[in-house]
């Protein structure tokens, strides 16, 4: 992951909450949150009390007034930081290529933050009380992503610090302050707008459905849809609506010969009621770097199956990319769905960080896809994501990031790493105790890939290690083969994050699932209560019942 550097947060002891208080929906509006208090009083509940006190107006107010002030200041500072980055990019001819790539990462990420903050301001202006569950979850998700985006910008700058250390130092200061401010905003939002208890109740069943066609399809489009409908994916669809279909075929017989051309033809800023713009990518190897921008919303890309439709590239940190822009396939547009595709990064283990897919798309789903690389294969970067019946191959930290993500019914295949390396499967990147993020691995199978299984080399494989201070990963009802080390989990650096992380296992099976000799860290838990494990299900952790049915991707909402 990005440069393998971490940014230590200075958190007062009283902010480090016990297990349930660290879960995404248990942080709740304080019953006294409407009373006018001093900045010093309200700032006690934030991760940075001193910084919080220094930026809030020096007068008594309630948490909602303080929160709205903090949001607007965050928006102003993000705009200022974007102008600073743009100023450097205007002088790109004098900058090293690696520095330009890091600045471009920061520009993309800061632009997203401005969007998220602008939307969030509208929500918090609505009320001096709590928001409905789904609305509160939307805002908390965006605020969590803002902090992640700032950390990623910092990681990219650090990865390229050798090319221009003075620029990195100049940007790190304002970036650090902006991160603190957004952490304050998230804490105040949690205190003032998040309901104490949810009123929304998840469904308790598996979702399977049957296909329906929109009426405005052309005859040719209808024929393609009906052909796809005979396949496994679209046989499960009930409410999927498709506005149009285009075909990508390298031989020229479709609408386009490249995936990027098809994406460029998609409408901008669609909404969910418009239906998906469906891109059918026929079998073949597509040597393309695909990046789906934020305005290409509600795309649905379907291939001809794993190892039939293949999107491949070979960018890596070793060859000058940042981790963020090393991805063969990247998406930030919300409402994205992919099915029946293999995504590869062929840089190899020797090139270290080399991402196959980077996903920062809210309410996104991947179904029956394969992700193939070595270090840092699947970058579940931010926002809410779901993966079903996918295959993930890799070595070091090959499922990583700071999204709220559930992997369900997937196959996880650790590969043979370089000599001297070990395999941590996950490296979750939560940096703030109020972020509603984490990796939930549910009903998956963990077995050695063919190269590791046939190797005579002894390779230690672990369930994960803490990339960031509040790293959170849970394995539930999954099969773990004997390759999993008895300790289960591995340190990142000494005792870093061992008391602030949250790692847990619940009702797993297989020879690698024995918890008898697991680590004894304060943050590690064996979950015995079903109610505790249910927090990390699709219905609770992602509020998946509200958005997954329209994707057509099957899912299990609760525990099996």
Contact 183, 47 (CB under 8 A): yes
**Neighbour-count burial for 71-83, b at 16+ CB within 10 Å, e otherwise:** bebbbebbeebbe
Residue 260, judged by CB atoms within 10 A of its CB (0-12, 13-18, 19+), counts as middle
* DSSP conformational letter for 256: B
In the chain, what are the helix, strand and coil shares in percent, each to the nearest 5?
35, 20, 45
Q: What is the pLDDT of residue 243?
A: 87
| Bridge partners for 505 per DSSP | 475, 526
Q: What is the pLDDT of residue 494?
A: 97
Q: What is the pLDDT of residue 235?
A: 45
Whole-number Å distance between alpha carbons of 368 and 213: 22
Contact 391, 370 (CB under 8 A): yes
397 is catalytic: yes
Whole-number Å distance between alpha carbons of 248 and 254: 5
Fold of 39-193: Butyryl-CoA Dehydrogenase, subunit A; domain 3 (1.20.140)
* Nearest partner of 427 among 383, 487, 491, 482, judged by Cα: 491
Displacement of CA 172 from its chain's centroid (Å): 23
CA atoms within 13 A on the CB side of 95: 23
* DSSP conformational letter for 368: S
325-327-330 Cα angle (round to 5) = 95
Contact 131, 195 (CB under 8 A): yes
Whole-number Å distance between alpha carbons of 382 and 439: 11
Q: What is the pLDDT of residue 4?
A: 39
Whole-number Å distance between alpha carbons of 323 and 333: 19
- What phi and psi values does residue 356 have, to the nearest 5 degrees? -85, -50
Contact 414, 394 (CB under 8 A): yes
* Nearest partner of 489 among 444, 441, 424, 406, judged by Cα: 424
Displacement of CA 255 from its chain's centroid (Å): 32
CA atoms within 13 A on the CB side of 459: 24
Whole-number Å distance between alpha carbons of 59 and 57: 6
- The residue behind tokens 């208080």 is 21
Residue 400, judged by CB atoms within 10 A of its CB (0-12, 13-18, 19+), counts as buried
Contact 313, 345 (CB under 8 A): yes
First to last CA, the chain: 32
Q: Which of 244, 362, 397, 432 is catalytic?
A: 397
- What phi and psi values does residue 237 have, to the nearest 5 degrees? -95, 135
- In the chain, where the domains are located: 39-193, 232-551
**Neighbouring residues of 502: CB distance < 8 A, sequence distance ≥ 6:** 19, 22, 438, 470, 471, 472, 473, 474, 523, 525
Please report, in tens digits, the pLDDT of each residue of the chain (560 residues total): 544 333 323 333 223 333 333 333 333 444 435 589 999 999 999 999 999 999 999 999 999 999 999 999 999 999 999 999 999 999 989 899 999 999 999 999 999 999 999 999 999 999 999 999 999 999 999 999 999 999 999 999 999 876 667 888 889 999 999 999 999 999 999 999 999 877 766 654 444 333 333 334 445 556 666 666 555 445 444 457 888 899 999 999 999 999 999 999 999 999 998 999 999 999 999 999 999 999 999 999 999 999 999 999 999 999 999 999 999 999 999 999 999 999 999 999 999 999 999 999 999 999 999 999 999 999 999 999 999 999 999 999 999 999 999 999 999 999 999 999 999 999 999 999 999 999 999 999 999 999 999 998 889 999 999 999 999 999 999 999 999 999 999 999 999 999 999 999 999 999 999 999 999 999 999 999 999 999 999 999 999 999 999 898 999 999 99
Whole-number Å distance between alpha carbons of 133 and 433: 19
CATH code: domain 232-551 is 2.160.20.10
């Amino acid at each position: 992951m990005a440069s393998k550097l971490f940014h230590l947060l200075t958190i007062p002891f009283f902010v480090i909450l016990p297990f349930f208080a660290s879960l995404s929906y248990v942080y709740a509006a304080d019953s006294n949150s409407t009373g006018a208090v001093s900045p010093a009083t309200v700032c006690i509940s934030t991760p940075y009390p001193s910084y919080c006190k220094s930026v809030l107006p020096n007068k008594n107010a309630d948490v909602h007034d303080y929160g709205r002030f903090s949001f607007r200041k965050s928006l102003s500072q993000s705009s200022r930081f974007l102008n600073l980055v743009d100023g450097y990019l205007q002088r790109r001819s004098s900058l090293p290529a690696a520095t330009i790539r890091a600045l471009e990462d920061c520009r993309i990420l800061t632009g997203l933050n401005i969007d998220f903050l602008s939307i969030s301001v509208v929500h918090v202006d609505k009320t001096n009380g709590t928001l409905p569950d789904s609305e509160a979850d939307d805002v908390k998700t965006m605020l969590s992503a803002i902090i992640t985006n700032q950390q990623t910008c910092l990681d990219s700058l650090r990865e390229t610090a050798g090319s221009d250390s003075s620029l990195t130092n100049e940007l790190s200061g304002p970036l650090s302050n902006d991160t603190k401010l957004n952490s304050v905003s998230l804490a105040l939002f949690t205190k003032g707008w998040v309901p104490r208890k949810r009123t929304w109740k998840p469904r308790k069943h598996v979702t399977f459905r049957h296909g329906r066609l929109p009426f405005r399809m052309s005859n040719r489009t209808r024929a393609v849809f009906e052909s796809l409908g005979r396949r496994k994916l679209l046989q499960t669809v009930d409410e999927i609506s498709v506005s149009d279909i285009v075909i990508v075929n390298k031989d020229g017989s479709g609408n386009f010969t490249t995936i990027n051309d098809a994406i460029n033809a998609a409408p901008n800023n669609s909404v969910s009621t418009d239906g998906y713009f469906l891109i059918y990518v026929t079998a073949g190897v597509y040597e393309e770097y695909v990046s789906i921008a934020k305005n290409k919303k509600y795309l649905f890309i379907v291939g001809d199956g794993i190892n039939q439709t293949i999107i491949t590239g070979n960018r890596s940190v070793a060859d000058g990319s940042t981790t963020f822009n090393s991805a063969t396939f990247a998406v930030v547009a919300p409402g994205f769905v992919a099915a029946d595709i293999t995504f590869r990064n062929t840089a190899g283990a020797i090139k270290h960080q080399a991402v196959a897919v980077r996903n920062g798309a809210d309410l996104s789903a991947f179904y029956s896809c394969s992700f193939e690389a070595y270090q840092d294969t699947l970058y579940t970067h931010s926002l809410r994501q779901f993966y079903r019946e996918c295959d993930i191959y890799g070595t070091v930290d090959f499922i990583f990031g700071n999204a709220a993500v559930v992997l369900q019914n997937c196959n996880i295949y650790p590969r043979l790493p370089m000599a001297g390396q070990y395999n941590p499967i996950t490296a979750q990147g939560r940096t703030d105790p109020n972020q509603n993020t984490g990796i939930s691995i549910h009903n998956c199978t963990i077995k050695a890939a063919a190269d590791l299984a046939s190797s005579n080399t002894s390779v230690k494989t672990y369930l994960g290690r803490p990339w960031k201070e509040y790293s959170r990963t849970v394995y539930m009802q999954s099969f773990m083969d004997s390759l999993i080390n008895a300790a289960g989990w591995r340190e990142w650096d000494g005792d870093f994050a061992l008391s602030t992380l949250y790692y847990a296992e619940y009702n797993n099976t297989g020879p690698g699932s024995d918890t008898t000799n697991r680590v004894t860290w304060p943050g590690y838990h064996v979950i015995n209560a079903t109610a505790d494990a249910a927090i990390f299900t699709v219905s609770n952790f992602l509020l998946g019942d509200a958005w997954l049915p329209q994707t057509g991707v099957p899912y299990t909402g609760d525990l099996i």
